[in-house]
Structure 1
Amino acid sequence: MLNRRQGSQLFGRRGVSLVELIVTMTILAILASVIMPMMQMTGTRSREIELHQNLRTIRTALDEFKKSYDKAITEKKMLQSANKSGYPETLQQLVDGYDFGGLYATKKKFLRRIPSDPTNPPRPGEEPKWGMRSYADKPDSSVWGGEDVYDVYSLSEGTAIDGTKYKDW
């Protein structure tokens, strides 16, 4: 067993020198400077993935609404109207549901809620905002005709990691 005197001679010193402290802090600063951009990129990437999923969810609901409308016309549950495309009049109609002339026992709902745009989030208490195009609008139109909702797009002016604009997705 070592006594106190032998132990202090064996280990010689107590504490950390200034040089060791500076070297350690430099290494930590270099690691932090590498990790921070990676964390920011991860956040951006996750918002882009969520935007893709939300756009896909809304567009799928729009297509399902159109299929149900066409089925109701085919099965003579509704009369075809010359001024109706078969797409919902608003996004909220996907949440509230639609009767389709009795095609279904109750109003058929296509979304539980309208997903928000993670690249352009709404303020607390506001409804999610999306750019919309009607069936009669041009494919690249930035002004909604208001007749129906044929397509949605992001209102964000931001640029994605791949260099494309979010509003062009």
Structure 2
Amino acid sequence: MGLEKEKSETKVLVDHIDGDDGGDLSRSMRPILGWNEKVSRVTEDRDPHGINTELQVGFPDIIGEPPGVRSFDAVWICSHAALELLKYSLYRLLTALLAVPVSFIAGLLFAVTSCINIWLITPLMRSCVMAMSPVKTVWSSWTLLFVEPFFRSTGRCLASLTQIVT
């Protein structure tokens, strides 16, 4: 649990269509921002329970051109690169600014909630259960002495009635 030192060297890959003289650019959906080979390594899974799977958004999830209308290849490539670069750099900037304060607030919130639950709510509920034991005894006695005989006799009286359908 420490600070990771990682190089953030990225490169923009622009491919030409195979067999072309270089006039057209490839419109493939491969990631444009590729990691440098010396930086690329297997990192630990930071979302092992998959709680943020809906945030895995790529360029084709946001922008798509139908075959009938197409922009210039350079516009397509540059917009793809701009989206990936902005998403990458802005996410890094926002996490650098907000991760520690939000984690601090979340930790504070969980600590206060745990403290209230452990030191106030649980003892209060246990005290109520202990204090209600005599009330439970009185209530069950009252029910057995007065309520149950009344409803038992009422049930016997009403059971002798018959319904005549004409």
TM-score by length of 1: 0.32
Q: Which has the higher helix share?
A: 2
Larger Rg: 2
TM-score by length of 2: 0.32
